[in-house]
């Protein structure tokens, strides 16, 4: 049972008060902030007041939501009523506070959750490291000298450190899945377009997807049920597809071997494992960058007048985004359509695809390049998103759960991909995997 579900059960049983749970989360967040820098703001007074109200409701035996009284956190591009949504970008710090909660935040509150604060992120969500942020870099609980991944790095760090059991992130090219892999948490990239984007500062609207990072697949399932409002039943798994091309070409040997071991566990008894084509992956990856840049440039064009306030890498990204030609964007959309069609054909013959989530473990903040099997990747140009971007382009859902540790002692995850709308199936398979393995139960050295 995950941290959030344990807390909810204890509160419902009268064994724990929400006030105690929330106070402990706030204390841990404050104590670990100098080490992790996971939060951009904490809502101490409002969270404790909401927790006391939750305790009164529990004592009066009112009907309790699945997350009643449970502390949670949200990425700093979700609107939280009364707080500024900055996207960790200095020019947006002077925006007016949000008047209402984002749709996803409201859904958490309706389920009884208590929002204790907003989490750090890669500036404007365009990056996989979380080293670019006007609040400073967020750090990995397994080694604070390393990145937590991005862009939802603060959410990944807050969950991995045991501060909260559930934190909201967003995923445009891997921004939930990468921190989940690098921090040893469980994360869900939801089918693109399944959930509203209301109240979320956009990066690339056609690719953006809200979703949760959680302590394990059980917490992840509860979070998805709350966010979606309805979850279709899981389907049985009879065939697992493994796209060896692209996804296993350039990957750390520890990651590759552990993912193949995970495939054996996921298959269990009676499930066929087959190799499937992955030509769509490179096509989708090529399209992703142009589409993401073009939309990013339109969304944040006004920031060019305050470019000196941006992280230098984000300034360069924005200038490149605004220079994308219309004909290049049209060609990219054609490639994306072709990739989606090819992906649909591939996954029609299997129930899920299984790949590595990231090519390697978390890099150090000071690393400029990663060398994987002799190939050099620039860290700040999306090295960690190589296996996640194509899935965003085709709009499919994907779960990442921990599946091993590298030679450096850092965690990494396996990515389980489904056809659109198959979240329940992916989550059921992830829960079954975690029953058989203990990777998700490992505790980071920096922990609440």
**Can you tell me the distance from the alpha carbon of 266 to that of 84, in angstroms, rounded to the nearest whole number?**
43
Residue 231 has pLDDT above 80, yes or no: no
Please tell me whether residues 113 and 66 are part of one structural domain: yes
**Can you tell me the distance from the alpha carbon of 93 to that of 313, in angstroms, rounded to the nearest whole number?**
19
Quick check: is 316 in a domain?
yes
- Kindly state the helix (H) or strand (E) to which residue 22 belongs, with its residue range: helix 18-36
Q: Which residues, 6+ apart, have CB-to-CB distance to 118 below 8 Å?
A: 39, 40, 41, 73, 74, 75, 76, 78, 80, 83
Look at 53-62, 288-297, 353-362 and tell me which has the smallest mean pLDDT: 53-62
Cis peptide before 52, with omega less than 30 degrees from 0? no
- Give the residue from 166, 201, 228 where a domain finishes: 228
- The set of catalytic residues is 75, 151, 175
Structural domains in the chain (count): 2
Tokens of 440: 């998700």
Please tell me whether residues 104 and 200 are part of one structural domain: yes
Question: In this predicted structure, what is the pLDDT of residue 439?
Answer: 98
Please tell me whether residues 245 and 224 are part of one structural domain: no
Quick check: is 174 in a domain?
yes
Tokens of 198: 């209301």
Are the C-beta atoms of 86 and 74 separated by less than 8 Å?
A: no
Tokens of 385: 């998103």
Rounded to 5, what percent of the chain is helix, strand, coil?
45, 15, 40
Tokens of 247: 């996804």
Question: In this predicted structure, what is the pLDDT of residue 365?
Answer: 96
Quick check: is 233 in a domain?
no
Quick check: is 445 in a domain?
no
Compute the mean pLDDT over every residue in the chain, rounded to the nearest whole number: 97
Indicate the SS3 state at residue 73: strand
**Residue-wise pLDDT tens digits, 92-116:** 999 999 999 999 999 999 999 999 9
**Residue-wise pLDDT tens digits, 160-196:** 999 999 999 999 999 999 999 999 999 999 999 999 9
**Residue-wise pLDDT tens digits, 54-70:** 999 999 977 899 999 99
**Can you tell me the distance from the alpha carbon of 396 to that of 138, in angstroms, rounded to the nearest whole number?**
28
Give which of 214, 265, 204 is closest to 416, Cα–Cα: 265
Please tell me whether residues 159 and 245 are part of one structural domain: no
Please tell me whether residues 219 and 252 are part of one structural domain: no
**Can you tell me the distance from the alpha carbon of 57 to that of 46, in angstroms, rounded to the nearest whole number?**
17
Are the C-beta atoms of 142 and 135 separated by less than 8 Å?
A: no
Residue numbers of the domain that contains 260: 239-440
CB 395: neighbour CB atoms within 10 A? 20
Quick check: is 213 in a domain?
yes
Please tell me whether residues 59 and 199 are part of one structural domain: yes
Query: What's the start-to-end Cα distance of the chain, in Å?
Result: 18
Binning pLDDT at 50, 70 and 90, where does residue 350 land? very high
- Give the residue from 196, 228, 260 where a domain finishes: 228
Are the C-beta atoms of 226 and 107 separated by less than 8 Å?
A: yes
Indicate the SS3 state at residue 260: helix
Angle between helices 217-228 and 423-436 (to 10 degrees): 160
Question: In this predicted structure, what is the pLDDT of residue 373?
Answer: 87
What CA–CA distances, in Å, run from 401 to 115, 153, 358, 425, 438? 24, 16, 11, 14, 11
- Kindly state the helix (H) or strand (E) to which residue 280 belongs, with its residue range: helix 279-299
Question: In this predicted structure, what is the pLDDT of residue 62?
Answer: 77
Question: In this predicted structure, what is the pLDDT of residue 239?
Answer: 98
Q: Which residues, 6+ apart, have CB-to-CB distance to 341 below 8 Å?
A: none
Binning pLDDT at 50, 70 and 90, where does residue 232 land? confident
Quick check: is 360 in a domain?
yes
What CATH number did the domain enclosing 340 receive?
Answer: 3.90.1300.10
């Amino acid at each position: 049972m995950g941290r959030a579900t344990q807390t909810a059960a204890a509160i419902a049983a009268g064994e724990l008060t929400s006030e105690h749970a929330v106070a402990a989360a706030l204390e841990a967040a404050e104590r670990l902030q100098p080490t992790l820098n996971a939060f951009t703001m904490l809502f101490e007074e409002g969270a404790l007041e909401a927790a006391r109200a939750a305790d009164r409701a529990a004592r009066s035996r009112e009907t309790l939501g699945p997350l009643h009284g449970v502390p949670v956190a949200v990425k700093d591009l979700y609107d939280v009523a009364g707080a500024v949504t900055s996207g960790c970008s200095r020019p947006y710090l002077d925006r007016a506070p949000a008047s209402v909660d984002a749709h996803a935040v409201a859904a958490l509150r309706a389920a009884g959750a208590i929002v204790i604060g907003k989490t750090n992120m890669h500036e404007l969500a365009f990056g996989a490291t979380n080293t670019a942020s006007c609040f400073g870099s967020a750090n990995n609980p397994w080694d604070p000298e390393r990145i937590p991944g991005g862009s939802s790095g603060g959410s990944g760090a807050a969950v991995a450190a045991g501060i909260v059991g559930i934190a909201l992130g967003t995923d445009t090219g891997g921004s939930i899945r990468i921190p989940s892999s690098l921090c040893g948490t469980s994360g869900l990239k939801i089918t693109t377009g399944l959930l509203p984007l209301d109240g979320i500062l956009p990066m690339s609207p056609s690719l953006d997807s809200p979703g949760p990072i959680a302590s394990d697949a059980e917490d992840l399932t509860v979070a998805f049920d709350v966010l979606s409002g309805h979850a279709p039943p899981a389907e049985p798994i009879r065939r697992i597809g493994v796209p060896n091309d692209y996804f296993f070409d350039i990957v750390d040997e520890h990651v590759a071997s552990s993912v193949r071991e995970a495939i054996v566990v996921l298959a269990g008894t009676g499930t066929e494992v087959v190799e499937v084509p992955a030509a769509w992956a490179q096509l989708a990856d090529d399209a992703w960058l142009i589409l993401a840049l073009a939309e990013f440039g339109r969304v944040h064009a006004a920031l060019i007048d305050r470019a000196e306030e941006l992280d230098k890498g984000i300034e360069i990204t924005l200038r490149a985004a605004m220079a994308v030609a219309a004909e290049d964007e049209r060609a990219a959309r054609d490639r994306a359509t072709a990739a989606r069609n090819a992906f649909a054909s591939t996954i029609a013959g299997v129930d899920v695809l299984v790949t590595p989530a990231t090519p390697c473990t978390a890099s150090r903040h000071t690393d400029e390049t990663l060398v994987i099997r002799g190939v050099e990747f620039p860290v700040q140009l999306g090295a960690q998103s190589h296996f996640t971007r194509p899935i965003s382009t085709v709009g499919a859902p994907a779960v990442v759960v921990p599946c091993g540790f590298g030679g450096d002692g850092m965690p990494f995850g396996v990515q389980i991909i489904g056809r659109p709308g198959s979240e329940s199936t992916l989550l059921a398979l992830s829960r079954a995997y975690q029953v058989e393995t203990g990777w998700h139960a490992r505790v980071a050295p920096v922990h609440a």
